[in-house]
A and B are shown apart, each in its own frame.
Chain A
Amino acid sequence: MKKTFKGRPVVAGAAIGEAVVSKQGFNILASLQRDIMGKKPEVRCSDQNNPDIFNQVISGKVLCLPKTIGSTTGGMILQAAAALGVAPLALLFAEPIDSLAAGGVILAKVWNDRDIVTVDGLGDEFLAAVKNGCAVSITPDGAVTIETP
C-alpha cells in the first residue's frame, strides 16, 4: 500500500531508498561517532539510548526522524559523514528541521558538494506510518511516498 506525504524540501532532490525509523530524537554525535572514528565503510547507529535503530545501518538509508538532538557539534558530524560518503541518503523530518541538522546538510552541500536530500514538516502521521525497511521515494518538491507491505 502506498501513501504520500508532503513536506518542505530543505535540500531538494530525488531519492529512492529504504527507511530507517527513529521515533525519538536522533542524536547525531552519539549515533555516528563510533563508526566514523573506526573508519568503517558504513555507519551503524551507535547510540545505545536509541533502541529504535541501535546498531542498524544508517549510511545510504532514508533516515526518518522527528528531529535531531544533542551536542551542537552535531551539524559538523553530519557534514563529515557526508564528505566521507557514509551519511544517510536522505533525512525526512516529521517536525520542522532543527538548527543542528540544518547546519550539517547545508555545510555538506556548500563545502563538499554533497546533497543529503532533506525534507521537513512531514507531520506526526508520517512518522507513525513509516516503518523500518519501507521503500521510500522522494521527489524534489518535497513529496514523500512510502510503500508498506
Chain B
Amino acid sequence: MYSHSMRLNAEEEDILAGKRGDTLRKAMESIVRFGDVFGADSLVDLDHGVHLVTSFGIPLLGPVFDIMDELIASGLKTPEPFTVDPRPYDFANVPVGPIEKLIFRKVMYSRQEDYEGQLKKVGLKNDRAFTCACYFDEVGNIPARGAMLAWAESSAVVYANSVLGARSNRNSGVLELMCGIVGKAPRFGFLTDEGRAASWVIELNTTVCPEAQLLGSAIGMKVIEDVPYIRGLDRYLGGELDDRARDYLKDMGAATASNGAVGLYHVEGLTPEAKDKGKALVRKDAKVYVIDDAEIARIKAGYPMMWKDADAKPTRCFVGCPHLSRSQLYGWVDRLEASLKAAGRKRVAVPTVLTTAPDVEAAFRADAQAAARLKATGATLSSICPLMYMNNPLCGKKPVITNSNKLRTYTKARYYTDAEILAIVSGGRA
C-alpha cells in the first residue's frame, strides 16, 4: 500500500488499501500521490461535476483507452455527469477533402467513436456535452462560487477560478477523471485561500480597451503560472459581470492560460474575490507589470511567422477558440454583415468558421432568422475544436487565420485582431 503523507479519513484509507476493488484503489492512489507531491493536507469532496480535456480518439492515447476499459469493467463512473472538450472534426460544417477525411477518420482520430462510447459509460452528460466552455448557461456545467472542482481544460479552469470564483487546480488530463471517479480532489494550490493570493500586480495604462486576446497573451507571457491582480480593466468593462465582461474575460483568460500557464487572475472591481477583498489579495512582495499601448503592440509584433509563405492567401479562418458565447455569436453575425456591406461584398472571401458549444449552436440554429443571416454571409457554424482540427499534418500546413491566441500558440495559425479578421474575410487586408 502506498505510504501517503496527507491526512485521510477511514473511508479514504480503505479505498487506498484496495478494500473497494483494485481499480478504485488505483484511482485513489493517483490523486493521493498527486496531492502529496504538492503538499496537500487532505482530500476535499468535489461539489460539482468534472470537465475533461480529452475529447479526441487519437490512437497515441491507447494506454488511456485501456484505463477507460478498466474503469468500465469495474463498473466505475463519476457520481456527477461530466462535460468534455470539443470534438476534433465536423465534416458537415467544416468540409475537408477526401484525403484529409481519410486521415481524420482512419489515422488521426480513428478511435473517436470507440472513445465517445467509453466516455458515455463513465459518466458523460450527453451527446452535446462537447465544448471547452462548459460553463455557458446553455451547457449548464456551472459551479457555484467556492465550489471545489477538478477540471483540466486550461481555459475552463482559469474561467471557473477567476470569473465564477470556484476552486480548481490545473489538472492533467486523466487525473481530473480520477478525481471525478473518486469524487474528491487533493487540497492544495487554488483550492486554498493562500494559493489564490496574487504575486503580480498588472497596471493597465492603455488609452483604449486592449483586445482581450492580446492582453491575456501579455499577462500570460509575463507571469507564466503566477496569479495576477489586474488594475484598470474595470475602467473598460465596468463593475458587473454582464455578457460583455464575461465574454472578454473568457477570451483574455484563455490567452493567459495558453501563452503562459495562468490558472487564476483577479480583476480589481470586477471578479468576485477582487470585489470582496480588493488589494488584500495581493502579496506584499508582489511584482508589478505595467501594460500600455506600446507594450500591447510589442507583444503582437513578437509573434513568430509560422507560415512558409508570409504572403499566402488564407484558406480558412477560425473564430471561437475558446468557443463563442451566444452573445458573441450574434455579435459576429452583425459585424460580418456590416463589414461585408462596407466592402461591397455579399459573402466572405475566406472560408470562415465560427465555433461554439453544441447547445449554443442548437439554440442559434433554432433562431431561423439569425441562422439565415449567418448563412447569407457564407460563414459557417460548427462545434468543432479548431485546435484539434489543425492538429494533423495536412491541415496544420495550411495558411489559417484566427483571432485566438490559444490557437496561434499551439498551431501554425496566424493571429489577427477582430477588426483585422473582419477586414481580411471581407476581401481586404489586415
On A, residues with C-beta under 8 Å from B are 10, 30, 33, 36-37, 69-77, 79-80, 82-84, 97-100, 102-104, 106-107, 109-112
Q: A106-B37, A110-B29, A110-B33 are in contact. Are A73 and B173 (CB under 8 A)?
A: yes
Q: Give B58 Cβ to nearest chain A Cβ, in Å.
A: 7
Tell me the minimal C-beta distance from A58 to chain B in angstroms: 15
Q: Is the beta-carbon distance between A109 and B33 smaller than 8 angstroms?
A: yes
B169 CB within 8 Å of chain A? yes
Q: Say yes or no: B63 contacts A103, CB within 8 Å.
A: no
Contact between chains at B172 and A103 (CB < 8 Å) = yes
Known: A99-B38, A110-B30. A72 touches B64 (CB 8 A): no
**A102 & B171 in contact (Cβ 8 Å cutoff):** no
Q: Which residues of B lie under 8 Å from residue A99 when comparing CB positions?
A: 34, 38, 169-172, 175, 189
B residues in contact with A109, CB < 8 Å: 33
Docked-complex contact A103 and B174, CB < 8 angstroms: yes
Given A69-B261, A72-B152, decide whether A79 and B59 contact each other with a Cβ distance below 8 A: no
Q: A33-B60, A99-B169 are in contact. Are A75 and B174 (CB under 8 A)?
A: yes
Does A80 lie within 8 Å of B30, measured CB to CB?
Answer: no
B145 within 8 A of A: no
Q: For B107, give the chain A residue with the smallest CB separation.
A: A37
- Set A30, A72, A76, A106: member contacting B33, Cβ < 8 A: A106
Q: Which residues of A contact B67 (CB under 8 A)?
A: 107, 111
| Chain B residues packing against A (C-beta within 8 Å) | 26, 29-30, 33-34, 37-38, 53-54, 58-64, 66-67, 70, 108, 152-154, 157, 169-175, 189, 225, 261, 410
Given A75-B175, A99-B170, answer yes or no on A112-B60 (Cβ-Cβ < 8 Å): no
- Cα separation A36 to B62 with both chains bound (whole Å): 10
| Contacting residues, chain A, for B30 (C-beta < 8 A) | 106-107, 110-111
Q: In the docked arrangement, what's the CA distance between A74 and B29, Å?
A: 20
Residue among A72, A100, A111 with max Cβ neighbours from chain B (10 Å): A72
**Interchain CB contact under 8 A, A98 and B26:** no
- Residues B37 and A76 in contact, CB atoms below 8 Å apart: no
Q: Within the complex, what minimum Cβ distance (angstroms) separates B118 from chain A? A: 14
Asked if residues A76 and B174 are in contact (CB atoms below 8 Å), the reply is yes
Hey, which chain B residues are within 8 Å of A100, CB to CB? 170, 172
| Interfacial chain B residues near A77, Cβ < 8 Å | 60-61
Residues of A within 8 A of B64 (CB): 76, 79-80
A110 x B173 contact (CB < 8 A): no
Cβ-defined contact, A98 with B53, below 8 A? no
Alpha-carbon separation in the docked complex, A111 to B61 (Å)? 14
A-B contact pairs, 26 of them (CB 8 A): A10-B37, A33-B60, A70-B410, A72-B152, A72-B153, A75-B172, A75-B173, A75-B174, A76-B64, A79-B64, A79-B174, A80-B63, A83-B66, A84-B62, A98-B261, A99-B170, A99-B171, A99-B172, A100-B170, A100-B172, A103-B174, A107-B30, A107-B174, A110-B26, A110-B30, A111-B63
Q: Please determine whether A102 and B37 come into contact, CB atoms closer than 8 angstroms.
A: yes
Interface centre among B29, B38, B59, B174 (most CB of A within 10 A): B174
With the chains together, A99 CA to B309 CA distance in Å? 37
Complex CA gap A107/B70 in Å reads: 14
Q: Is the CB of B62 within 8 A of A76?
A: no
Taking A72-B53, A100-B172, A103-B175 as known contacts, 13 extra A-B pairs with beta carbons closer than 8 A to each other, sorted by chain A number, are A37-B59, A71-B154, A72-B154, A72-B173, A73-B54, A76-B172, A80-B61, A84-B63, A98-B261, A99-B38, A99-B170, A106-B175, A111-B63
Residue of A nearest to B56 (CB): A73
Q: Which residues in A have their C-beta under 8 angstroms from that of B33?
A: 106, 109-110
Indicate whether A73 sits within 8 Å of B53 (C-beta atoms), given known contacts A98-B225, A99-B170, A110-B26: yes
Closest A residue to B27 by beta carbon equals A110
B37 CB contact (under 8 Å) in A36, A69, A71, A97: A97
Determine how close the nearest CB of chain A comes to the CB of B52; give it in whole angstroms: 10
Specify which chain B residues have a CB less than 8 angstroms from the CB of A83 in the assembled complex.
Answer: 62-63, 66
Q: With a CB–CB cut-off of 8 A, which chain A residues contact B108? A: 37
List of B residues within 8 angstroms of A72 by Cβ? 53, 152-154, 157, 170-173
CB distance from A89 to the nearest CB of B (A): 18
> Using Cβ atoms and an 8 Å threshold, which residues of chain B touch A76?
54, 61, 64, 172-174
Nearest B-chain residue to A75, judged by Cβ: B172
List of A residues within 8 angstroms of B26 by Cβ: 110-111
How far is B34's CA from A74's CA once the two chains are assembled, in angstroms?
Answer: 15
Highest count of chain B CB atoms <10 Å: which of A30, A37, A109, A111: A111
Q: How far is the CA of A88 from the CA of B126 in the complex (A)?
A: 38
Residue of B with least CB distance to A120? B37
Residue of A69, A73, A97 ringed by the most chain B CB atoms within 10 A: A73
**In the complex, A44 Cα to B38 Cα: how many Å?**
30
Taken together as a complex, chains A and B put the C-alpha atoms of A137 and B47 apart, in Å, by 45
Residues of B within 8 A of A104 (CB): 172
Chain B nearest Cβ from A123, distance in angstroms: 18
Which partner residue on chain A sits nearest B188 by CB separation? A99
With A and B bound together, what is the CA distance between A70 and B409 in angstroms? 9
- Given the complex, which residues of A lie within 8 Å of B410, measured CB to CB? 30, 70-71
Nearest 8 pairs of A and B residues by beta carbon: A75-B172, A103-B172, A83-B63, A103-B175, A76-B173, A36-B60, A76-B174, A80-B63
